[in-house]
Amino acid sequence: MSQATTAVQKEQHSEHHQELSFLYKYILPLDHKIIGMQYIFTGLIMAVIGGYFAYAFRMQLAFPGEIVPLYGLVGPGEYNMLVTNHGTIMIFWVAMPVLIAGFGNYIIPLMIGCDDMVFPRLNRLSYQIFLASALVLILSFFVKGGGFGGAWTAYPPLSSVAEYSLTDWGSSLWLLAVALEFVSFLLGGINFITTTMNSRAPGMKMMDIPIAVWFIVIAVILFMASVGPLIAGAVMLFMDQRIGTSFFLPSGGGDPLLWQHLFWFFGHPEVYVVLLPTMGIVADIITVFARKKLFGYRTVLYTAFATGGLSFVVWAHHQFIAGIDPRMANVFVVTTVLISIPLAEMMFCYIATLYGGSIQFTTPMLWGLGFLAAFLIGGVTGIYLGASAIDVYFHDSYFVIAHFHYTFFPITIIGMFAALTYWFPKMFGRMMNETLGKIHFWGTFIPFNCLFLPLFLLGLAGQNRRVYNFLNYPDLARQELHDLRVFATMSLVVMLLFQFVFIYNFFVSMFFGKKAPNNPWEANSLEWSIPSPPPHGNFKTLPSVYRGPYEYSVPGRESDYWPQNEPPKK
């Protein structure tokens, strides 16, 4: 029986190796590398939209009522729409497609040594549904009434009744886009887990899998286990909006708090769903550029399991002032503070990896270190917010905004740049310009801090989120507070301008950069043993794996790295 299967697969495979037309190679590909790049490029385009929205509403906050250059006038309803969709886009259409779907697709088969995902057609379908979801979301900005403005958490009844939200079709299309996006990642997730479990190169044991792959897989497992309730909630909200049910409407016997539970049951694991891929990618980057073995491979892995498990029992810390039982709030305070222990441990392992290493400050390494530094601030401020006694005062203030931007910005943007600069030679076969890369790093990292540190102060001063003009409030209109707002907005503009350096570097290097060798960073994992860019089918011959991915500077060896597929000397 297995012989018959093999024969058929062989036949399918030879079919696979024909020269493909442009349409099948780039528009309807089955190759995981092209699908990964489709995800990454779609995510980058969506990031531009998300950044543009951020620019528009930050300008409104700094210069209320004035015409924003390149945008126009931002009214109150439009402000809400911009804020809502900025959040939605950055989390669901940038962080997830780029870090999980994009890099997951690109690196998982390369790092575990196989030719493609196990379900290539499912993979292609997953991208197509994702593209459809992005188009539906963009469409929602242009329907009558404009895009949805009820915040990315979409709390009912604001999100379920058109008379309240004033965006009848905008909110339905927004919900449809989010639901489609989940279906897309569901299909992708099945692929990632199955591929990693079943298609590893011979000799690659569970503990030889690079942390980047492990963490993407753990993230996907979290996603798969938590997304069901939100899909159920989305269906219910959609029915409330369109066919007159009242699941979340108290007037009809429903319960608005139910949506918050369903949303945050997904929403909090989601934080770790986007965090873990970046954490994993950074683990790979810092070991390569510190030329040192990862400190505590197993510890890092187990802390990720612990984080994942705990992330399912912390969701109500988003609802401390939503009217939940204070005794229940205490339980969630404990679990929330508890979850910082495995993450802190992971952080210490990373710092211990750096300690005593021969660190090379290449661009990817700068991004990796930048991630650790910035995420540390995000993590530590989270402990304050996790305690209900403090959160009652900080809730919905700019302190919260500053906190989660100190987590999400490092995860999404810094992590994305770390991964892009690290795998760029493999993806496009050319090296990026290091000088421009470093200019871009500092031009992003310094303004990022100048942008969000003032928001902590504004939050402590009592500035509420989701207000479109603070000058209407005498307490918040004080000059010293407004100066901070203007400073933050100016920092954002500077940061956005520096992104042009990256765009220039990216496209010029893609076509005219120095040719990249197979292994420019002298790294161990399998993707560096094949040509850059990898050919269709990846590995000419099936690699065999002899050791873990982090054998750097092993005593007694001439070179300071030891590729996973290099046979041991007899």
Partner 1 sequence: MKKSSNQTVFLTTSEVSLSNTSPRHKPPISNGILGMTIFIVTEAMFFAALISAYLVIRSGQDEWPPWGQPRLPIETTAINTIILVASGVFMFFSHKLFKKNKIIEGHRLMGISILLGSFFLIAQGREWLELIEFGLTVSSSVYGGLFYLIIGAHGFHVLGTILVLLYYWQKLKNSKNQIELENIFPFQILWYFVVIVWPILYTLIYLN
Q: In the range 242-271, which residues lie near partner 1 by CB under 8 A?
A: 243-247, 252-255, 258, 261-262, 265
Residue 181, interface with partner 1 (CB under 8 A)?
no
Residue 161, interface with partner 1 (CB under 8 A)?
no
Who contacts 420 (Cβ-Cβ below 8 Å, separation ≥6)?
Answer: 40, 506
Residue 186, interface with partner 1 (CB under 8 A)?
yes
**Least distance (Å) from partner 1 to the CB of residue 194?**
5
**Least distance (Å) from partner 1 to the CB of residue 242?**
10
Nearer to partner 1, 328 or 341 (CB): 328
**Least distance (Å) from partner 1 to the CB of residue 200?**
8
**Least distance (Å) from partner 1 to the CB of residue 264?**
12
Residue 160, interface with partner 1 (CB under 8 A)?
no
Nearer to partner 1, 77 or 203 (CB): 203
Q: Which residues, numbered 203-222, are part of the site for partner 1 (CB under 8 A)?
A: 221
Task: Give one DSSP letter per residue of 9-64, joined into a string.
Answer: HHHHHHHHTSPPPHIIIIIS---HHHHHHHHHHHHHHHHHHHHHHHHHHHHHHHST
Choices 200-208, 387-395, 501-509, 553-561 (CB under 8 A): range interacting with partner 1: 200-208
Residue 231, interface with partner 1 (CB under 8 A)?
yes
* Planar angle of CA 266, 268, 271, nearest 5 degrees: 110
> What are 105's strand-pairing partners?
none
Choices 65-73, 170-178, 187-195, 490-498 (CB under 8 A): range interacting with partner 1: 187-195
Q: Which residues, numbered 434-463, are part of the site for partner 1 (CB under 8 A)?
A: none
CA dihedral in degrees (356, 361, 364, 365; nearest 10)? Answer: 20
* x/- map, 465-504, partner 1, by CB under 8 A: ----------------------------------------
Torsions phi, psi of 430, nearest 5? -135, 155
Q: How many residues does the chain have?
A: 570
8 A C-beta contact, residue 267 and residue 316 = no
CA torsion through residues 195, 200, 204, 208, sign: negative
8 A C-beta contact, residue 424 and residue 434 = no
> What are 68's strand-pairing partners?
72
**Least distance (Å) from partner 1 to the CB of residue 216?**
14
Residue 566, interface with partner 1 (CB under 8 A)?
yes
Nearest-CA neighbor of 391 among 314, 313, 321? 321
Torsions phi, psi of 561, nearest 5? -130, 165
Residue 2, interface with partner 1 (CB under 8 A)?
yes
Q: Which residues, numbered 102-131, are part of the site for partner 1 (CB under 8 A)?
A: 114-116, 118-119
Residue 8, interface with partner 1 (CB under 8 A)?
yes
**Least distance (Å) from partner 1 to the CB of residue 114?**
6
8 A C-beta contact, residue 406 and residue 375 = yes
Q: Using the rule CB under 8 A, which residue among 67, 207, 232, 554 binds partner 1?
A: 232
Greatest Cα pair distance in the chain: 79
Choices 70-78, 228-236, 375-383, 453-461 (CB under 8 A): range interacting with partner 1: 228-236
Nearest-CA neighbor of 107 among 263, 211, 24? 211
Residues 103 and 105: their CA atoms lie apart, in Å, by 5
Helices (H) and strands (E) in the chain, counts: 18, 0
DSSP helix/strand/coil, 143: coil
Residues 168 and 464: their CA atoms lie apart, in Å, by 26
**Least distance (Å) from partner 1 to the CB of residue 191?**
7
Q: Using the rule CB under 8 A, which residue among 72, 73, 198, 334 binds partner 1?
A: 198
**Least distance (Å) from partner 1 to the CB of residue 233?**
7
**Least distance (Å) from partner 1 to the CB of residue 537?**
6
Residue 10, interface with partner 1 (CB under 8 A)?
yes
